[in-house]
Structure 1
């Protein structure tokens, strides 16, 4: 059986909308597997994968009145379920729809999937601060414009566009006939001349130089690719994110910076590029 687009929503509240997405995907020629991640009442439409299947035989949907606790448990279960399905080669792409709770639930699972696998969420919160949902992944967010609460002239157009965008992504996966060993490099304005020369030299030697802007999310993205095995070596020329972490700047990559590199034990060269500067917002944010 060929891989399928996994269409996900809390089908107790978004069942009608997800069924519309399913129909659009099938009309576009995509195989679809609907997944219910609802935590309250019964789904309004029959899913291909019910919530008990998402949790698996060892867990059960938590019987709790605390919505936050239920959503957190379902998100963890969905993450494990999708990762397992993807490793088995069953997932061509993932599309989700939701409000704030559903977006939080689904996006956490999508962040665990490999870079390059199509991932799209139609969300009511896509026009705000999306960093908590996307982090350093390649999730595509599409603003729903209206609330995801029934089908109407606006929601049908937005959901249809999202479904056809996903169908296009899974139908036309770019071929990578020129794959080369990948080397990650970190860069900032002051280290650009150095990194540019190094990248040119690596390209001449047959390597694929991947440059990451050292803005916090750049370092996190590089380490995510290291952890996934897509990067075989790192030239960490610009470690300024550490300075921001220590001093409280806006470009910190978090306390786990370097951990993926150490765990993978790949070739690694570190320098102190731009460690003599820290980045802040407005003047009043400077300590």
Structure 2
């Protein structure tokens, strides 16, 4: 049972608050490993990992951090050291979860510290800037948990204790209940949207599981794509079915719903076999409550709900997406098969659908065929992406890869 929690923060200025977290965890039967990431002061209570050990893990020293005479430089030294130590502690089986406390400085460090631990390790941040737009999505690990440190900037009170005690109980409970990802079956990563838009995962998941694979489907709405790319970069996938690369277009046209500039590249860099398609290539998702960008003022608009809306790209914009997809696939070091459903790429563009535009789809497909590098295998499919024929074609690629040894037989 996971009981040992790493409690990290500046124990010189946050002794009372961090000590309170430690006491709550211990009162619930947990163990604590205390890490001090202070620079100038000394902790008011004994710690297990002192600031000198943290700085040394970064290949530096507290003296060097102070000599920099810059708090940002000093905190980055401590962030690097803390992240390296946390990764080592987890690899050695010495910690089962993490909680970090801080304001903006502590939160900056906390994001690096959390990112050093793999998916499935509970990681909690108690911060005065939780959920703030100051926190860039690309620095948020897929399973990070945050709680606002309300009323707790200086000293303990009943308001901040409510948050601190919740976080302490949550990380201990999560550590006890956590089921880390298994590695007993080869994993296929798939991108998609909800079943009202894309449906191929419904037949594909059981069919792939019957072949001995595990299947993880990622919601390609920015953070989902980031998690997908991060796992691909780690080599977690035996193969990917990246059928909803719409985040490439989102990033290309400046949407806040972005998986970053490296979307559709991590699997290729690792040489992971890829089956790719064009789900929702003609749409750019926008934050529903943000003003619509001026460049899309005259575009066809679709409100999915109050937090997510989409604009339909014009033919020239779709061609730009096609070129961007091809550029990314050209970087792949492993096999790539590109499935091109000629009857549409989401439920709204079926024949008779509200966003149907066969001429624009044909232009997009022509641009993609022309731009694709020769090592990409192109397969035109006379069906819609949500038709059974699309799933059958994807399974045929998988079966071929198993037969020729590209994929290990599960």
Q: TM-score, normalised by structure 2?
A: 0.64
Describe the shift of the 1:39–1:3 C-alpha distance in structure 2 as closer, same or farther (beyond 3 A).
Answer: same
* Alpha carbons of structure 1 residues 175 and 213: separation in structure 2 relative to 1, 3 Å: closer
Cα deviation code 1:175-225 (max 9, x no counterpart)? 878964321111136861223332232233333221112222221101222
Unaligned 5+ segments in structure 2 are: 297-410
Matched, 1:5 2:5: yes
- Distance between the aligned counterparts of 1:252 and 1:81, measured in 2? 31
Check whether the contact 1:136–1:217 (CA below 8 A) recurs between aligned residues: no
Does residue 210 (structure 1) correspond to residue 210 (structure 2)? The answer is no
Higher relative contact order (CA 8 A, sep 6+): 1
Q: 3-state SS of the aligned residue for 2:96?
A: strand
* 1:274 counterpart SS class: coil
Give the aligned CA root-mean-square deviation in angstroms.
2.5
**Correspondence for 1:129 among 129, 133, 145:** 133
Aligned to 1:59: 60
Q: Assess, with a 3 A threshold, how the Cα gap between structure 1 residues 135 and 178 changes in structure 2: closer, same or farther.
A: closer
Equivalence for 2:144: 139
Q: Could you tell me how far apart the structure 2 residues matched to 1:80 and 1:175 are? A: 21
How far 1:95 moved relative to its partner?
Answer: 0.8
Name the residue aligned to 1:283: 292
Structure 1, gaps ≥5 residues long: none
Q: Distance in 2 between matches of 1:283 and 1:29?
A: 51
State the shift of 1:42 in Å: 2.0
Pick from 103, 108, 113 the counterpart of residue 104 of structure 1.
Answer: 108
Q: Is the 8 A contact 1:75 1:109 kept in 2?
A: yes
Kept in 2: contact 1:7–1:35 (CA 8 A): yes
Higher Rg: 2
Kindly state the Cα deviation for residue 44 of structure 1 after the two structures are TM-superposed: 2.2
**After superposition, what is the alpha-carbon deviation per residue over 1:73-121, rounded to whole angstroms, capped at 9, x for unaligned?**
2112211221122222222110111112111111221022101101111
Aligned 8 A contact 2:30 2:172 in 1 = yes
Say if 1:121 and 1:142, in contact at 8 Å, map to a contact too: yes
How many residues in Structure 1 have an aligned counterpart in Structure 2? 286
Match in the other structure for 2:399: none
Could you say if the C-alpha distance between residues 102 and 285 of structure 1 is closer, same or farther in structure 2, counting changes exceeding 3 Å?
A: farther
Give 1:37 shift. Answer: 0.6
Q: TM-score, normalised by structure 1?
A: 0.89
